[in-house]
Every structure is written in C-alpha cells, then in structure tokens.
Structure 1
Amino acid sequence: MPLGIKLEKKAELIDNTALANLKLYKYSSVDKSFISNHILRHYWNAAAELMPLWLAPNVITLIGLMFIYANVLCILIYVPDLVGPGPSWLYYSFAAGLWMYSTMDNVDGKQARRTGSSSPLGELFDHGIDSLNCTLGGLIETACMGLGPTPAGAFITLVSCLAMFFSTWETYHTHTLYLGYINGPTEGIIIACLLMIVSGIFGPQIWQLNLDEIIEVPSFLPESAAFIRVSDIFVLVVASAFFFAHLPFCVYNVYQARASKGKSFYPVLLEIVPFVWASVSVFVWLGSEYSDVLYKNHLVLFALTTSFAFGRVTTKIILAHLTLQPFPYFTILLVPIYIAPFLFWVLPRVFGVMTFVGKFEIMYLWAYFFFSAAYFLSWARIVINAICDYLGINCFTIKNPTKNK
C-alpha cells in the first residue's frame, strides 16, 4: 500500500456507514444545452444502441480515455515541442480522439440504463475519468494550436482543472450536476474539435497570425488590436469564460443551496482554500525563472502528473458526495505542489542560482509522477473493490445484463 494511502488512512476508510449511504444516492443532473438536448441526444442514443449488452458501461468510459491517451502518445511522437507543425492527419486525429472520448462519456450512462447496471460506482468512475482527462485534453489543445511550453500553453492545459473542481464542489453542495446553456462537455468539446480541424487544414501556425492577417479589424477597436495574435484572443476568451461565467455561477448555486437549507454560506468557502492554494503554487512554480518545466519543455510530463493529482482531488469529493461524508479538505497528492514553490522559487533566491536546480526539478517531477500514478491507481482499486463487494456488482463486467424496455 503506498505511503500516501497510509497517511490518509482515516480519511480513506470506507466504513459500513459510508457504504450504506450509497444505497440512498440518486443521480441528479440538469443539462440546458440546446445542442445536447435537441441534436446530440439522438446521436448518443444511436451510438448506445450499437453497444453489445454484455459490454459494461465502465469499459465504455475507459475506452473513451484510451482515445485521449492515444492522442497524447501522438504528441510525444510527432509534436513533442507542442509547436509543430505536425502532419495534417495528426490534428484530425486529435479531433477524432476528443470526439470519441465525448461520445463514450455520454454513451456509458445510456448503456448502464439499457443493461440495468446503473450504480453510484458508475458516476464515480465516469467523473473520475473526466478528472484524469482535464489536463490531457488541455494539453492536446495546446499542441493543436502550437502554443508550446509557454505560460499560455500551461494555462490552456490546466484551466479545465479549475472548471472541473468548482463544478464538483458545486455538485457536492447542490446534489445536482448542472450544465448550462453553453457548457464545456458539449459546446466546449465541439469548439475544441473544430479548432483541431482548422489546424489540420491550415496548420497550427494559423493561430499565431495577427488578427489583421485573418480579418479586417473593426474601426472602433484600437489600432493595437490588429497586432494581437489569434491564440491570445483564444486564451482571453477561455479565461473570461471561466472567471466571469463558470466560476460565479458555481459559487452562486452553492450559495443558493446553502441558503435554502438555512445554512451559512461563508464556511464552505474554506473548502476551496486547499485547491486555490495548489493553483497559486502551480503558478509560482511554473512562473519561476529557476524552473525548467516550461523552459526545457516538460509540460507533457507535468500534465500527466497533475492529471493523477487533480483526479484524486475531485474523486475524493465525488466519493464524499456519494456516501454523504464531510467535505474532504486534504489529499497528500497536492503536497508536492505545495512544496514546489519553496524548492524552485524561494531557495534559489535565498542561496543564489544553483546549477543542480534543473536536474533536481526533473527528478522531483518524475518522482511525483510515479508516486501520484501509483497512489491514484492503488486508491482506485481499493475503493472500487469495496463498492463492488458491498453492492454485489462488478466494475468491468455486467451480472445478468437485461435490456430495459
């Protein structure tokens, strides 16, 4: 058993009370997207009908993630600098992989209902895979637009983690997964796929052109607007969508949920402090002039590492939601991120530039990767087995599949 699980033993223990609460859980979601409800719903239903009844929903979810890992492998082979350009087919494959991931992500629940195998484990597994995909999907978008290992590339790689965390925090308190009229899992995926197709047609260098090289800049904009790169506009739109749309609505919905129960809102703000602290730590770490993560292009490794660390954060919240447990503040997988600014920003400044910092940092990052992967997979095995044993189900096979009429 990894050291992390031992250190979190009390918090990780799934006792009989927690397991018993699984039987009280009822899935609740709201999706207001027009595209989801009136267009893609028919596509997803048709895709679900193609799935054999013996195929477990969690296997479908896992297949979707494999498309994303295949995309990441292609990045390592063809555009390891995250700039390129790579062959045209590569960007089309990015779009196909992301689309197939989205398809599997929506079909798995329908398959569960078709086969009568819906369970709380399905939600935990589904959203756990979504959590793993957050940084990886962003990494693929970074490679698609040729952003490279830059602050902009790092932001696009990691911003989905912020959105996913606050959605999960919102769901914990409202007990409903809320997707707005325009949301990331639907419209966001479509936009990302379209951008990847554009990169396949024109090459990723199109995103590095100035605005006036693409369109005629409106006269009411300042002259400097003509020299803004298209990729900078994209980053600005993504940042604005998160900070001015997604985040405020998550906070407001949690406020409303607390107010409806006559409970104070302000104490729950403490729940976001550890994650905000981790986000600031990442900003300081990657922004340090002594760090080589971006300077020597270790962004792919960083994304793979943080996918497991972030996946642990959200799955812990999801599990607490499913089992009606207190909100989990701590996971040991964030500790290396908390420490990193001290190691790669404070110490070099205090003791001067140390020649071994770069080598130590990459060893630190590799160690963090192996630890987080081993920890996450070990924890997943423990939790999945506990839930399966209690509910009398299998994770990757279906017991007596029956088609719901």
Structure 2
Amino acid sequence: ACLLLSDALQGFSCLLSLVCIHWPLPGRNSPFPLNFDPTISTALQHHGSQYKYTPPFLLTNAYMLTVPVEEKAAAECISDDALIHLRSYKYSSVDLSPVSKYILGPWWNAFVKILPLWLAPNMVTLLGFCFVLANVGLLVIFMPDLVGPGPGWLYFSFAFGLFMYQTMDNVDGKQARRTGTSSGLGELFDHGIDSLNCTLGSLLETAAMGLGPSPAGVFTALCPCLPMFFSTWETYHTHTLYLGFINGPTEGLLLACFFMIVSGICGPDLWTQPLAILIGDYFPGAVDILGETTFRDIWIGLIVSSMVFTQIPFCVYNVVRARRKQNLPIAPVFLEWTPMAVYTVSIGCWTFSPHSTLMAENHLVLFCLTMSFVFGRMTTKMILAHLTRQPFPYWTVMLTPLVGGAVIGNLPVFGLPKISPGLELLYLWAYFVFAGIAYFRWAYLVITSICEFLEINAFTVPKDKYEAAVKAQKQY
C-alpha cells in the first residue's frame, strides 16, 4: 500500500509540474525549465522514459508514473480469495416504485423480448449508455455553453437518449436471465455505468434548463452523485439495492426527460419566467405570494428536498439496522463518507472560488467529464468490495488531483500568486487525461480478472447458452 501511495504521489507531482514549470516565482521572470527539475527527470528515468521531458510528453507520462509496471497491475487487481465470493453471487433488490411496477415494468418486459438472444446483457447496458454519450457529443457541438437556446430537436434528443438509457438499464438483468448469463460482473458493469451517467446525464439536464456555469448549473450537474454514493454505500452493507416509492432511477429520470421535452417545446427561457405568470390564470392569488420567483429560484430547494425526504435518511437507517442485526459497531461506518466528503468539498472549493476561472470561462463540461471518471471509480470500487466481501475502499488516487485543483484554485488564500487561466485549464485537461486512462485501465484489469476467474465472456453470449436460450424460447 505504501508503494502504491508513493507512486501515486509521484504521478500527481508530474501532473502538478505542468503548472509548476511555468509558474512565475517571486523575483523571477523566467519560468522554471523542466529539464532542470531533478525530481521529475529522475522519476521518468526510473520508469524507463528515454524521451525529452516536454510538457506534452509529461502530460501522457504523468499517469504512467502511477501505474508503470505490469507487476503492479497484479497487485491492484482482486485476488482469488476475493473473487471466490462471486461464485455464490445472487442479485438482491427491492423496488417499491408504483411507476416501475405498473407503468414501466410492462414496457420493460415487452422491450426485452425484441432483443436478440445473442446480445449479451453487458452490451445492452453499454448500448443504453451510448445514447447518453451521443447526446453529450451533440451538447459539445451545438450548446457547449450549457445555456443555449439550442435547436429544438436537441432537447428532444436529450429526452429520448435518457429514456432509452433508463430502458436498457432495466432490461439488461432481464436479458441476463433470458440468456442464462447472470453474474456478479453484470451488477458491477451495470452500476458502474450508472455511476458514470450520474454526471453525464445531469449535464444534459443542466443544458436543457439553460443553467450554464452558474451555481445552480454546477449543483444540477453534480448533485446526483450524492444519492448514488449513499445508495451504493447502503448496498455495500445490506447487500441489497433498495429503491423507494419515489427514486432517482425511475421518477428522477422521468422528470428529467419531462423537463427536456418542455424545453424543446417552449425553450429553456421558460424556466426563468416568474411562476406567477405561468400559473396566474389558474391561481389568481399566486402573484401576491410568488412575486418574481422563477422555477430556477426554487430548483435547488426541490432537489435537496427530494434527496432528504426520499432517499438519504433511509439509506442511513437501513445501514444502521443492518449493522445492529449483525451486532457490529455503528460509528465506524460514518468514516466511510470520507471519499464523498472530500469529493464534494473539493468540488465546491474549486468551482466556487473567486480566484478560479473554471466557471468564469465556462469549463463546466470538461470539469463534469473529468468528475464522471472520478466518481465512477470511487463508487465502482465500493460495488466491487460489496461483491467480493472486501474492506471498504476509503480512497482512490483519482481524488488527489481534485484536492490539488481545490488548492491551486485558492492560492491567494495562502498568500501565493493567483494561477493564470491558461495554466488552470491545462491542469484540468491533464486531470481529465489522467482520470480517463486510470479509470479505463482499472476497469480493464477488473473485468479481465473476473472473466478469467468465472470463465465467462463480458460482451458475448457463449454458444451453448445461446442455443439453450433459443431452445427455451421455442418451447415457450
């Protein structure tokens, strides 16, 4: 663990060096030359680098320092002693939503029947996520400022993509049962994609409401990570996924789709109009009560209320009840909120800092893309620990640059020169590259290890299971 931490800090030092090599020191006009930095040079040479230490090269090698050699890959990957628990895996969930049971449930049952039996469940999950990714791409092209207004069809595309993601996310398990390919990998892959979508899907909602790089925009794009974390934390302790009468994956996504459709019809400016004007014809006394209050003014309050009254307290209650049932101490579990606390506080300190240009120059899209990797890694590690009955993962190295970003965004607080907009953007891009490579490398190692141990395929249905599924379908 110490060796991994040491290499992680070395990698982070390379990331920071992108800023440091151009940092103007007091009484010094010229920047630090990277070639004269013995720490960086020694670190790169230690890991076999024979190239010139230029900033573009360092951008790619900063990650290499955190995971430089093949033997470390084995150390990071899960052991057979942990994987053995996957052989006794059994999915457990409780969904109390009437909407799921009476409205969407029949739709999901009908939709799964049109999927070919050769289509693997994880591919169903991935295809659903591709709808979201495609819309994020359209967002970057047509409405990168997250304000708009964009073309009307764009908002409808957001709604359709999010609805298809929800559909695919709910039929992948049904497809697994149809093809006889259920496994712990399916839950890990499914909920791992959900973790990525927390930020990306919410980014689409931010654009649909025209919130832009405002406090409400930042909150809308990143706040869904909070209930997702608590739900995953709850599952880690109870080994059951609980979805209440009103929950985010069902009603939350449907409401998001509704807002997107309304924006497509009326335009995002609707959300800035006084509520009294919108409902005054139906409630004559609304003008005196609401005044100039707009939907945006109450938006954050609505989100916070939904989290407080429909999920988070119930997650805590279920965890406490599970611990008491097992005669385990309760207080230590609250230390497991540490990674989420660091994640939330660091984001707030960086994005809302008056010394940072992150929001002023509207880099919210890039920031949210980066945070999707960070949060995805953080929650997926919890899911993996739940499946393999391992200790709770208190930290991920991908949080370290986030803390660094919060620091460099507030340097004047510490009596240091303010970072320039160009260097801050360069740091964010470096963080994005680091987070993306780290996430996909770790995902590859874990998926490969599970597939080899269980002797299964991640994205294809074995021939024997396909033939058995076809035979069962014909008999039915």
Aligned to 2:303: 238
Contact 1:290 1:358 in 2 (8 A): no
Deviation at 1:52?
A: 0.5
* Aligned pairs for 1:272-311 within 5 A: 272-311=337-376
Contact 1:290 1:353 in 2 (8 A): no
Aligned to 2:390: 325
Aligned to 1:70: 134
Are residues 225 and 3 of structure 1, via their aligned partners in 2, closer, same or farther at CA, if it must alter by over 3 Å?
Answer: farther
* Aligned pairs for 1:6-405 within 5 A: 12-216=76-280, 223=288, 225-345=290-410, 347-351=411-415, 354=418, 356-399=419-462, 400=464, 401=466, 402-403=468-469
TM-score, structure 1 length as denominator?
A: 0.95
Q: Secondary structure at the match of 2:390?
A: coil
Deviation at 1:257?
A: 0.7
Are residues 270 and 251 of structure 1, via their aligned partners in 2, closer, same or farther at CA, if it must alter by over 3 Å?
Answer: same
Deviation at 1:316?
A: 0.2
Deviation at 1:3?
A: 3.9
TM-score, structure 2 length as denominator?
A: 0.81
Q: Tell me how far apart the structure 1 counterparts of residues 290 and 404 of structure 2 sit (CA, whole Å).
A: 40
Contact 2:77 2:446 in 1 (8 A): no
Deviation by residue 1:273-298 (Cα, 9 ceiling, x = unmatched): 22112211111111101111111110
Deviation at 1:226?
A: 2.1
Q: Secondary structure at the match of 1:35?
A: helix
Q: Tell me how far apart the structure 2 counterparts of residues 208 and 113 of structure 1 sit (CA, whole Å).
A: 46
Give the CA RMSD over aligned residues: 2.0
Deviation by residue 1:83-109 (Cα, 9 ceiling, x = unmatched): 111111111101000001111101111
Q: What letter is aligned with 2:216?
A: A
Contact 1:132 1:308 in 2 (8 A): yes
Contact 1:124 1:319 in 2 (8 A): yes
Q: Which has the larger radius of gyration?
A: 2
Q: What letter is aligned with 1:29?
A: S
Q: Secondary structure at the match of 1:227?
A: coil
Q: Tell me how far apart the structure 2 counterparts of residues 34 and 2 of structure 1 sit (CA, whole Å).
A: 49
Deviation at 1:340?
A: 1.9
Q: Which moved more, 1:18-27 or 1:157-166?
A: 18-27
Q: Tell me how far apart the structure 2 counterparts of residues 137 and 172 of structure 1 sit (CA, whole Å).
A: 24
Deviation at 1:393?
A: 0.5
Contact 1:32 1:181 in 2 (8 A): yes
Contact 2:89 2:184 in 1 (8 A): yes
Q: Secondary structure at the match of 2:213?
A: coil
Higher relative contact order (CA 8 A, sep 6+): 1
Q: Secondary structure at the match of 1:242?
A: helix
Q: What letter is aligned with 1:364?
A: Y
Q: Tell me how far apart the structure 1 counterparts of residues 297 and 382 of structure 2 sit (CA, whole Å).
A: 33
Deviation at 1:349?
A: 2.7
Are residues 257 and 110 of structure 1, via their aligned partners in 2, closer, same or farther at CA, if it must alter by over 3 Å?
Answer: same
Contact 1:344 1:357 in 2 (8 A): no
Q: Tell me how far apart the structure 1 counterparts of residues 291 and 114 of structure 2 sit (CA, whole Å).
A: 49
Q: What letter is aligned with 2:138?
A: C
Aligned to 2:60: none
Q: What letter is aligned with 1:53?
A: L
Q: Which moved more, 1:336-345 or 1:384-393?
A: 336-345
Q: Tell me how far apart the structure 1 counterparts of residues 216 and 67 of structure 2 sit (CA, whole Å).
A: 34
User: How many correspondences in the alignment?
Assistant: 403
Q: Tell me how far apart the structure 1 counterparts of residues 369 and 437 of structure 2 sit (CA, whole Å).
A: 13
Q: Which moved more, 1:216-225 or 1:131-140?
A: 216-225
Q: What letter is aligned with 1:208?
A: T
Are residues 385 and 143 of structure 1, via their aligned partners in 2, closer, same or farther at CA, if it must alter by over 3 Å?
Answer: same
Q: Secondary structure at the match of 2:144?
A: coil
State the identity %. 53
Q: Tell me how far apart the structure 2 counterparts of residues 187 and 11 of structure 1 sit (CA, whole Å).
A: 41
Q: What letter is aligned with 2:143?
A: V
Are residues 218 and 283 of structure 1, via their aligned partners in 2, closer, same or farther at CA, if it must alter by over 3 Å?
Answer: farther
Q: Secondary structure at the match of 2:393?
A: coil
Deviation by residue 1:325-362 (Cα, 9 ceiling, x = unmatched): 011101001111122222111x22333653x4321211
Q: What letter is aligned with 1:194?
A: F
Which 5+ residue runs of structure 1 have no aligned equivalent?
Answer: none
Contact 1:2 1:378 in 2 (8 A): no
Deviation at 1:41?
A: 1.0
Deviation at 1:219?
A: 8.2
Are residues 262 and 238 of structure 1, via their aligned partners in 2, closer, same or farther at CA, if it must alter by over 3 Å?
Answer: same
Q: Tell me how far apart the structure 2 counterparts of residues 10 and 245 of structure 1 sit (CA, whole Å).
A: 41
Deviation at 1:239?
A: 1.5
Contact 1:83 1:147 in 2 (8 A): yes
Deviation by residue 1:242-264 (Cα, 9 ceiling, x = unmatched): 13432111111111111111112
